[in-house]
Structure 1
Amino acid sequence: MTPSRTPEPAFRWVIVAAAAAMLAIAMGQLVNGLSAFLAPLEREFGATRGQVALVNTMGLVGLAIGGIVMGALADRVSIRAVVLAGAVMTGLCIATASQVTALWQLHLLFLVAGALGGGALFAPLFALVGTWFRTGAGLAIGIVSAGQAIGQGGVPLANALLIESLGWRGAFLAVGLASLALLVPLALLARRPGARPGPAAAAQPGQAAGGAAAMRPATVIATLSLAVLCCCSLMSVPLMHLAPLVQLCAIPAPEAAGVVMVMMLAAIAGRVAFGRLADMIGALPAYFAASAWQTALVVMFTWIDDLGLFYIFSPIYGFGYAGVMTGVLTTIRALTPLNRRAGATGIILAFAWIGHGLGGFLGGVFFDLTGSYDLSFAAAMAAGLVNLITIGALAWWVLRGPAGRATVNGSFAAGSGRI
C-alpha cells in the first residue's frame, strides 16, 4: 500500500463525538442557555432586560478573551490539559451561579466561565478535530458544529423545564453539576494524532497552496474577524431573544423554548449539510450562502404572531443560519497554516463571541427603548449585510490571481480543505 493511501485512524471519529458532546453542553449554556433565565432574573433582581442580557454578553466577552489565550496555549502545550481545565471551570461557574445575591455576581461568574471554561474548549476542540482529518474535514467540523447546535437548542429547553420545577437557583445548580459529571470524562479523551507517514505528513506545516499561501495570515485573520463580528451580531439576536419574542405573543415559556428547540434541531442538519457543501464547493462559497440565508430571513420573525407559524418558520431559518459557523470554521482551516491554527481560530472566534455578546445586548437595549423587537431584528439584518460585503471582498482577494483560482479548483496540500 502506498503512503498516500494509508488509512486514517478510526479514533478520529471518537474525537469528533467527544468534541460534539462537549460543545453541546458548554456552548449550550454560554451562548444562549441564559435565554430561559431572562424573565426569572428580571423579577428576582428588579433589572431591565438589557441588564440581564448583559450577563450573557459578559460570558461571550470571556469566551473572546479566553479563546485568544487558550487557543495560542493549545498550540504549545497538552491539548488534554487545556480542554480538561475548560471542562472543570465551566461546570463550577454554572453551579456557583445558583448562590449569587446580586446581578453583578452573575456578570463576573459568566465572564470567568467564558474565559477559562468555554474559551479553553471551543477553539482548541475545533482545531483538534481538523488535525485528525486529511480529507473530509468539512463534514467532521459540520458534525461537531451540529453537536453545538443540539446544545443551543436543548439546553434552553431543559433550563426552562428545570426552572419551572426547581426555580432558577436549582436549575443553575443542577446544570452545573451535570456539566461537571459529563465534561470531565469527555475531556480526558482529547489528544493529538500521531505522526503520519508519507507526503500528507510532509504537507502539514504549510497546508495551503496557491492564492491562500500568497495571503498574509494577519490579513486573513483581520478580514475574517470583521466578518464574524457582523454575522454573529445577527445570529445572537434570535438565539437570545426569539423565546422572549414568542412569549410576547401570549405563548407560555415552555412552548416558546420549544420554538428555539425546533430551530436548533433543524440547525443540526444544516451544520452537517453545510460542512459537506464546503467539501464540495469550497469553504468561502458555503460560508457566503449560509450568511445570505440568515440575513434574508431573520427580520421575518417579527412578522409572526402565531405559535404554529413560529414552528414552521423557525426550522427553515435554522437550517440555513446553522451553516454560518461551519463555514467560518472550514474557512479558517482552509486559509491558516496548521502550526498557527488554534491561535488563529481563537483570535477570529474572539470577534465572533464579541459579536454574539453585542447583538444579544443591543437586542435587549432596543427592546427596552421601543417596547418591541422590530428594531432589534432590523439591526441584525443590517449587520448581516456588512458580513456579506466582507466575505465577498475576501473571496475576490483569494480569487483575483491565477494562484488563487488554482487553489479554489483543488490545489490545496493534502488535508487543507478547499476555499
Structure 2
Amino acid sequence: MSEAKPPVARPAARWIIVGAVAVLLAIAMGQLVNGLSVFFVPLELEFGWPRGAIALINSAGLVGLALGGILMGMVADRAGVRRVALAGAGAVGLCVLLAAGASQLWQFYLLFFLAGLLGAGLFAPLLSLVGNWFPAGAGLAIGIASAGQAVGQGGVPFATAFLIEAVGWRQAFLVQGAVSLAVMLPLALLMREPPRPARGQAGAVAAAPPLPPWVAVPWLSLAVIGCCTCMAVPLMHLVPLIHGHHISSPDAGGVLFVMLLAAILGRIAFGRLADHVGAIPAYVTASFWQTVAVFAFTRIHDLGQFYLFAPIYGFGYAGVMTGVLVTARMLTPVEGRAAMMGVIIAFAWLGHGFGGFQGGWLFDVTGDYTLSFAMAALAGVMNLMLVGSLFLAVRRRRRQGLALA
C-alpha cells in the first residue's frame, strides 16, 4: 500500500485574493502606467507644454514606482503585505484627487512621483503574494492577477477619454481619485499571507532557484529595461499617434481599449503557457511577438486598420509582463521574494518611464512617431538577447545539476 500524501492546503481564499489583486492592479496601474495618455492633448491645449514635458509626468510616476518597488518590497517582507497595500491605495487615490487642482508641471511631477512611490505596494508585493499562495500552477494565477492590469490600462484611458470630453480634465481627475479610494481601500484589507505549511510536510521546502539570486536578479533586471522601454511607447503614444491622423480622442482611446482587452487574454494565456513550457520560454515568445510587431503601428493610417492590428499586437505584448513576473518568481527564493521582485520590477518601471519619455521627446524633435517606435523595437531586440542568454545559462546549470545527481 502506498504511503498517503499529506494534504495540500487549497483554501478558497487564494482565489479571492487573486480577484482582489486583479481589481487593485486594474485601478492603480491603469492610472499610473498609461492613464495619462488621454491627458496629453488637453494639457497641451490648455498650457502649451510640449509632449516630452507632459510625458515626463508619467515618467515621474514610473520612477516613483521603481524606487517604491524596492522600498515597499522590503517593507512587505517585514511588516506584511496588507499594510503596504493600504498605503498604496490611499496614496494613489489622494494624489490623483490633488492632480485636479495642479497648474504647474512640477506639481504634476511631484504628485505622480508620490503616487508611484507609495502605490508600488500594489504591484510587486501583491504579485509576490499571489505566487506564494500557489505552490503549483503559479503561472496561471499570476496571469489572471496581472490581467487586471491589462483591464485597467485599457479601461481607465477609455473611460477617462469620455469623462474629459464630458466634464473636462480636472473633473476627470476628481472622479478617478474618488473611485480609487472607494474601491481600493476595502480590497486592500483582504490581503493576507498564505498559511505556513507544517514542519515536515511534503513540499514545505521550495526548490532552490536554478541560479544564485545575486546573478539572476541583476541579469533579469537589465533585460526588463529593454522589454518595458519597448512596450511603453505604444501604451503612452498610441492614442496621440492615432489622434494625429485626425481621428477623435474617444476613437483613439477605443483602439487602445481593444488592444488591452486582447491583452487580458494574452496575460492569462501566457501564464498558462509558462506552466507548460517554462517561465523563460514563455517570456521569450511574448518578447519576440512584441518586438517584431511594435513598429507596424507607424505604417497604419486608417482607424479600421488600427482596430484590426491592435488586438493582434496586444495579445502577444501582454505576455511579456506575465513572463517577467513568472520568471522572477522562478529565479528568486521564497524568503525575501517580495524585495527581490521589487528590484526587478523597479528596473521594469525605469524602462517604462524612459520609453514613454523618449517617445514624446523624439516626437518633439522629428514631428512624428516613426523614430520613437523604431527605438522601441531596438530596445526589444536588446531584451531578447539578454533573456535568451539567461535561458541558456539556466539550462546549462540544470544540466550540470542532473549530471551531479
Same fold per TM (> 0.5)?
A: yes
Are positions 1:158 and 2:159 aligned together?
A: yes
Measure how far apart 1:405 and its partner are.
7.5
Residue 400 (str. 1) matches residue 396 (str. 2): yes
Q: Which amino acid aligns with 1:306?
A: D
CA–CA distance in structure 2, aligned partners of residues 155 and 406 of structure 1: 48
* Superposed counterparts of 1:209-224, under 5 Å: 212=210, 215-224=211-220
Q: Deviations over 1:173-195 (max 9, x none)?
A: 11001000000000000000112
Which of 367, 371, 389 is residue 363 of structure 2 equivalent to? 367
Deviation at 1:200, TM superposition (A): 4.1
Match of 1:271?
267
Q: Which amino acid aligns with 2:26?
A: A
Query: Residue 178 of structure 2 aligns with which residue?
Result: 177
Say yes or no: does 1:391 pair with 2:400. Answer: no
Residue of structure 2 equivalent to 1:414:
none
Instruction: Specify the alignment match of 2:24 in structure 1.
Output: 22
- Whether the 8 Å CA contact 1:146–1:269 is kept in 2: the answer is yes
Look up the equivalent residue of 1:66 and give its one-letter code. G
| Partner in structure 2 of residue 239 of structure 1 | 235
Q: Distance in 2 between matches of 1:271 and 1:405?
A: 32
Superposed displacement of residue 5, structure 1? 4.0
For residue 299 of structure 2, what is the aligned residue in structure 1? Answer: 303
Contact 1:399 1:405 in 2 (8 A): no
Distance 1:16 1:404 in 2: 36
Give the whole-Å Cα distance in 1 for the aligned partners of 2:125 and 2:149. Answer: 14
RMSD: 1.5
1:39-188 matches, within 5 Å, as: 39-117=41-119, 119-188=120-189
Q: Give the SS at the match of 1:99.
A: coil
Q: Deviations over 1:176-228 (max 9, x none)?
A: 01000000000000000112235345213xx326xx0xx22111111111110
Cα separation, partners in 2 of 1:190 and 1:402, compared to 1, 3 Å: closer
Deviation at 1:6, TM superposition (A): 2.5
Match of 1:32 in 2: 34
The sequence identity of aligned pairs, in percent, is 58
In the alignment, what sits opposite 1:250? 246
> What are the ranges of 5 or more consecutive residues in structure 2 without an aligned counterpart?
none
Partner Cα distance (1:5, 1:171) in 2: 50
Deviation at 1:402, TM superposition (A): 4.6
Please state how far the C-alpha of 1:404 moved relative to its aligned partner.
6.0
Deviation at 1:157, TM superposition (A): 0.6
Distance change (3 Å), C-alpha of 1:404 and 1:233: farther
Partner of 1:416 in structure 2?
Answer: none
Letter in 1 for 2:159: A
Counterpart of 1:226 in structure 2 is 222
Unaligned runs of 5+ in 1: 412-419
Residue matched to 1:355: 351
Q: Show structure 1 runs of 4+ deviating over 3 A.
A: 1-5, 197-201, 401-407
CA apart distance, 1:2: 3.8
Report the counterpart of residue 288 of structure 2 in structure 1.
292
Equivalent-residue separation in structure 1 for 2:202 and 2:73 (angstroms): 24
Corresponding pairs, count: 401
1:327 to 323, 326, 337: 323
Q: Distance in 2 between matches of 1:272 and 1:256?
A: 25
Query: Please, which moves more after superposition, 269-278 or 75-84?
Result: 75-84
Q: Distance in 2 between matches of 1:328 and 1:345?
A: 10
Superposed CA deviations along residues 12-52 of structure 1, whole A, max 9, x for unmatched, are 00010000000000000000000000011112221000000
Q: Deviations over 1:224-255 (max 9, x none)?
A: 11110010000000000001111111110000
Cα 1:190–1:244 change in 2 (3 A) is same
**Quick one: distance in 1 between partners of 2:90 and 2:397?**
47
- State how far apart, in whole Å, the 1-side matches of 2:304 and 2:191 are: 42
Higher mean alpha-carbon deviation, 55-64 vs 390-399, is at: 390-399
Superposed displacement of residue 158, structure 1: 1.0
Between 1-10 and 279-288, the greater mean CA deviation after superposition:
1-10
CA contact (8 A) 1:398 1:404 kept: no
> For the structure 1 residues 68 and 404, does the alpha-carbon distance in structure 2 shift closer, same or farther, using more than 3 Å as the test?
farther
Supply the distance in 1 between the matched residues of 2:371 and 2:202 (Cα, whole angstroms): 51
Q: Secondary structure of the equivalent of 2:193?
A: coil
Q: Distance in 2 between matches of 1:69 and 1:191?
A: 19
Q: Distance in 1 between matches of 2:57 and 2:311?
A: 27
Question: Given residue 149 of structure 1, which amino acid in structure 2 is its aligned partner?
Answer: A
CA deviation string 1:257-297 (max 9, x = no partner): 00000000000000000000000000000000000000000
For residue 381 of structure 1, what is the amino acid of its counterpart? Answer: A
Deviations 1:148-185 (A, max 9, x none): 10000000011111101110100001100100000000
13, 16, 26: which is aligned to 2:15? Answer: 13
- SS of 1:199's partner is coil
CA contact (8 A) 1:45 1:103 kept: no
Residues 103-130 of structure 1: per-residue CA shift (max 9 Å, x gap): 210011000000012x111011000001
Match of 1:417 in 2: none
Q: Secondary structure at 1:27's aligned position in 2?
A: helix
